[in-house]
Structure 1
Amino acid sequence: MTRSVTRRRLVVTAGTLTAALAGCTGGTDDTAEPTPTTTDSTAALTDSAPVPEDASCGVCNMMPAKFPDYNAQLTVEAGDRVFFCSSGCLAAYYVDPGNFEPAHEGATFAGLWVHDHETTELIGARSAWFVRETNADRVADPMQRNPLPFAAESDAEAYVAEYDELSESDILRLTDFDMDLATFYRGRFFE
């Protein structure tokens, strides 16, 4: 236990120093690459963070660090950071956070990040375009059923154009996520 407390203090100290130095060089937005941050500062809540090796998905309990091209994360304005194995788990949590963490019922999110389906770069979920992919056989991602995030609308449109059963109506924004979408992707995790 002492070792993890010491390591945590070192990470918090390093993250605070990094955040302080970043503040001197200019602001960031939720489209930036992951940088070391802490969750005890309001500014840090708007920055993505590296996924800890021991973090478990806030919905399904898988290990997000094992899926570096697919994992996602969000921060709650109250100060918590939640990691996910995939965009489908983030979608479920975004729609009904209180189902997974009672303290987050009605929570407001400071930042949300997903990995672009094509480039695998971490991007801001608020600015992303999502394709409501319904065919688990087309994508080899965790949980085998996820909305596919794209940084550019044109990339989402190109993906949809490849498949007859998909249409422009399958292109969504984060604000379009609803309980129907959440239960389609992660229904078994709702009580």
Structure 2
Amino acid sequence: MMWTPAVLPGIAVQWRIQVKLWPVPVVFWILAMAKIRQFEYSRSGKVRNKSPLVYVFLPVHFLKSGSYSQRRSSMRKQFIWVLLALLVTTNGWGHETDRLTPAAGDRCAVCGMYVATYPNWVAAAEFSDGALVFFDGPKDMFAYYFNLPAYRPGDKRKDLVGLYVTEYFTMERVLAQDVYFVAGSEVLGPMGHELVPVAGDDALARFLSKHGGKKVLCFSAGSLQEVESGLGGP
């Protein structure tokens, strides 16, 4: 892979999302250690080491030692299964994230710009056959959606299984129907004025107070509808 300007932002986004998963292995580790802590560490039935470091060294000791009882051997196996389950789970989340992350060569289906260059604006349309079409912002995504026959002859809106956008504050990929879209704010996208995706009433109020906006829209029943802020919604 060539390290071009179009590649680096996409890699940065994947890294940010993966980093957000760090509490998961920590929680699994603590739970496993809490279970192991119930077993005695010495032959006398008492745990000699009261230091927090026992949570680091005790699992290693269990995995390396072959001189403990059958009960401890069973605990080692349980601990290994916990780690394997954790590995499978986090890998699955990573693949889902990668699935909605454009490659360096992916272009916006409407304007032709390289999408990975603007990771905080990525939008995507997913079809029932598994095909993903990327855009450099929600504005182009909706232009594509409302004029689908012109861009993808033979397909209909019913063939779409999901429209995804990048939430402004979290930079996470979310469904279009789960956010507000602010139009006419001072925040500009790759193609100028943009429909800014914001999730939740609190985030919407914060965005409007800082960046303004002329309209607040939501995507529902296949159309963009104007809503009043603060009245509930996505």
Shift of 1:156: 1.8
Shift of 1:157: 3.1
**Aligned-pair Cα RMSD in Å:** 3.3
User: Residue 220 of structure 2 aligns with which residue?
Assistant: 175
For residues 25-174 of structure 1, the aligned pairs below 5 Å read 34-36=96-98, 48-131=99-182, 133-135=183-185, 138-162=186-210, 166=214, 170-174=215-219
User: Residue 25 of structure 2 aligns with which residue?
Assistant: none
Structure 2, unmatched stretches of 5+, are 1-84, 227-234
Q: Which is higher, the Rg of structure 1 or of structure 2?
A: 2
> Structure 2 length as normaliser, TM-score?
0.50
User: Residue 34 of structure 2 aligns with which residue?
Assistant: none
Q: Is the 8 A contact 2:120 2:171 kept in 1?
A: yes
Distance in structure 1 (CA, Å) of the matches to 2:134 and 2:141: 8
Q: Deviations over 1:62-117 (max 9, x none)?
A: 11111111111110123321000111111111222112221334443212211112
Secondary structure of 2:154 counterpart: helix
- Which gives a bigger RCO, structure 1 or 2 (Cα 8 Å, sep 6+)? 1
Q: Is the 8 A contact 2:164 2:173 kept in 1?
A: yes
Q: Is the 8 A contact 1:73 1:82 kept in 2?
A: yes
Q: Return the letter of the residue paired with 1:160.
A: L
Structure 1, unmatched stretches of 5+, are 1-20, 37-47, 182-191
Q: Return the letter of the residue paired with 1:75.
A: E
Distance in structure 2 (CA, Å) of the matches to 1:172 and 1:107: 22
Report the more deviating stretch, 53-62 or 153-162.
153-162
User: Residue 187 of structure 1 aligns with which residue?
Assistant: none
> Structure 1 length as normaliser, TM-score?
0.60
Secondary structure of 2:178 counterpart: coil
Q: Is the 8 A contact 1:157 1:171 kept in 2?
A: no
Q: Is the 8 A contact 1:70 1:141 kept in 2?
A: yes
